[in-house]
Amino acid sequence: MPTNYRDIPSVSSVLEDERVKRLVSEYTHAAVLDVIRREIASAREAIRNGEGTGQMSDLVGAIEREASNRWRSWPVQVINATGVVLHTNLGRAPLSTEAISAMQTASAGYTDIELDLESGTRGSRQAHLSHILCQLTGAEAALAVNNNASAVLLGLTAVASGSEVIVSRGQAIEIGGGFRVPDVLSQSGVTLVEVGTTNKTYVRDYEEAINENTGALLVVHASNFRVTGFTDTPELRELVELGRSRNLPVLHDLGSGCLLDSSDFGLAHEPMPQESVAIGSGLAFFSGDKLLGGPQAGIMVGDGRLVSQASKHPLARAVRIDKVTLAGLVATLMHYVKDEVTEKIPIWAMLSQPRDVLDGRVQRWLEAIGQGELLIDGESTIGGGSLPGETLNTTLLGLRLDDPESFLALLRSSTPPVIARIQDQCVLLDPRTVLPQQDNQLIAAVQQSLAEQAG
């Protein structure tokens, strides 16, 4: 058995292996050569550490695995059985059939994205979308960019760059991935002036901080956490009134973009863009891929003059929304225009799914799998930085196994991968976040994983 560096096959001999030849025929010679060299270097390191042999079969196997991992299609569609509706790690909101179709159509050929078909002259990529958003929110104008952080950044830059912007200290928060709102917003060229305390801020705190350098008042909805107990924060209406008295716009970051009244679904009320507009916010910002249920996008609606300032700013070009995302966003918004949200938009279908339907689905899973138990009092969460602490009752399939962690790994290696969770050493599968058309795939993945673990 080879045990030294001279026993490691040469690059030329590896290239003669039939399995490697197949890789070269599928990819480029240069790409495969790079993988070969890397794996030979890894084999040398393994021998140095007394952990490898350098055999040709082992080396070629490692090359095939690395090629498969490096050049596989990505991202991979997974089945979300976690019960977290807007799972950030899993891409948040799945799209409606109509949104997917619209995005496919937009990407398959040329479009009229910046052409006025009637006049034959250049048009605006924002015009059609703006009409729909204004209808839904009551705003004078609207603009979409690539995500909500960009929308807020663009709004602040266009409206208040070089000025001071006042924000409550309790709203200077950190969002996902370690990004802190003050750090992001400081890139707009504004000076953030924090007022009040973490748990209590009053209108007078804003009023006392206003001076000749103040450009706007900023309100950030705490969409990914909740502060309870000894707290106080001004109502948006109070700040709008203060802003009007001092000729200052109020910029409102709502985060989640909830166009439906979430309290109708047994959840706490989430601030809505149309409410912000009606109260008088100069600009309201929200996401497209959270509670709106569409593709990743950032949307600003509000005062026509302020939206126009933002649309004409050079930064608007840098954060511009692309044609494919725009098509998906328009198709998603049309579900709201047609009053078919809970039937067409997957996350709202999930949130409104009746308990008896969930019971029936889990019962069918249980019968097909032939193993497991019903845990009636489960809970689904919203996730995605939306409605923190809010849950919906659900019915779970529970699998009590000797090694639940290894079973989760087997589920993740299935095709498609299934993502579940563990609670009290029990693997839990929540039907709320599994698309109905994925039920048979989930059952097959669980059956196969159980067989592999038993074998």
Domain end (from 324, 340, 356): 340
Same domain, 325 and 364: no
Same domain, 142 and 262: yes
Asked if residue 159 lies in contact with residue 282, where contact means CB atoms within 8 angstroms, the answer is: yes
Same domain, 444 and 423: yes
The whole domain housing 215 covers 95-340
Same domain, 184 and 151: yes
Domain end (from 340, 374, 398): 340
Same domain, 400 and 324: no
* Number of domains the chain is built from: 3
Q: What is the CATH number of the domain that holds 424?
A: 3.90.1150.180
How does pLDDT run across 80-114, given as a tens digit for each residue?
Answer: 999 999 999 999 999 999 999 999 999 999 999 99
Asked if residue 273 lies in contact with residue 137, where contact means CB atoms within 8 angstroms, the answer is: yes
Q: Under 8 Å CB-to-CB from 164, ≥6 apart: which residues?
A: 190, 191, 192, 193, 209, 211, 213, 214, 215
Same domain, 335 and 377: no
Q: Under 8 Å CB-to-CB from 169, ≥6 apart: which residues?
A: 194, 195, 196, 197, 198, 201
Same domain, 326 and 256: yes
Same domain, 45 and 119: no
Asked if residue 167 lies in contact with residue 220, where contact means CB atoms within 8 angstroms, the answer is: yes
Q: What is the CATH number of the domain that holds 303?
A: 3.40.640.10
Q: How large a percentage of the chain has pLDDT more than 90?
A: 79
Q: Which of 198, 187, 200, 196 is nearest to 217 (CA)?
A: 196
Q: Under 8 Å CB-to-CB from 335, ≥6 apart: which residues?
A: 96, 98, 293, 341, 344, 345
The token pair at 29 is 């010679």
3-state secondary structure of 398: strand
The β-bridge relationship of strands 298-302 and 141-145 is: antiparallel
Q: Which residues pair with 220 in a beta bridge?
A: 253
The token pair at 207 is 């009023």
Q: Rounded to whole angstroms, how far apart are CA atoms 103 and 322?
A: 11
Task: Report pLDDT for 152.
Answer: 93
Same domain, 289 and 242: yes
Same domain, 388 and 323: no
Task: Report pLDDT for 1.
Answer: 44
Asked if residue 5 lies in contact with residue 44, where contact means CB atoms within 8 angstroms, the answer is: yes
Task: Report pLDDT for 188.
Answer: 86
Q: Rounded to whole angstroms, how far apart are CA atoms 320 and 124?
A: 12
Q: What is the mean pLDDT of each run of 10 residues along the chain (455 residues)?
A: 71 94 95 94 86 82 93 94 95 97 97 94 94 98 95 95 92 61 80 87 94 96 61 89 97 93 94 97 96 97 98 96 98 98 98 96 94 84 82 94 96 96 94 97 97 89
Q: Rounded to whole angstroms, how far apart are CA atoms 33 and 22?
A: 13
Same domain, 142 and 210: yes
The β-bridge relationship of strands 426-429 and 250-255 is: unpaired
Q: Own/partner pairs for 308-315, CB < 8 Å, 24+ apart?
A: 308/141, 309/158, 309/159, 310/143, 310/154, 310/155, 310/158, 310/159, 310/283, 311/126, 311/143, 312/158, 313/154, 313/157, 313/158, 315/153, 315/154, 315/157, 315/158
Domain end (from 340, 364, 384): 340
Q: Rounded to whole angstroms, how far apart are CA atoms 148 and 321?
A: 11
Task: Report pLDDT for 228.
Answer: 57
Instruction: State the Cα angle at 157 between 156 and 163, rounded to 5°.
Output: 80
The amino acid sitting at 44 is R
- In our burial notation (b when 16+ CB lie closer than 10 A, e otherwise), range 67-101 reads beeeeeeeeeebbbbbbbbbbeebbbbbbbebbee
Same domain, 175 and 239: yes
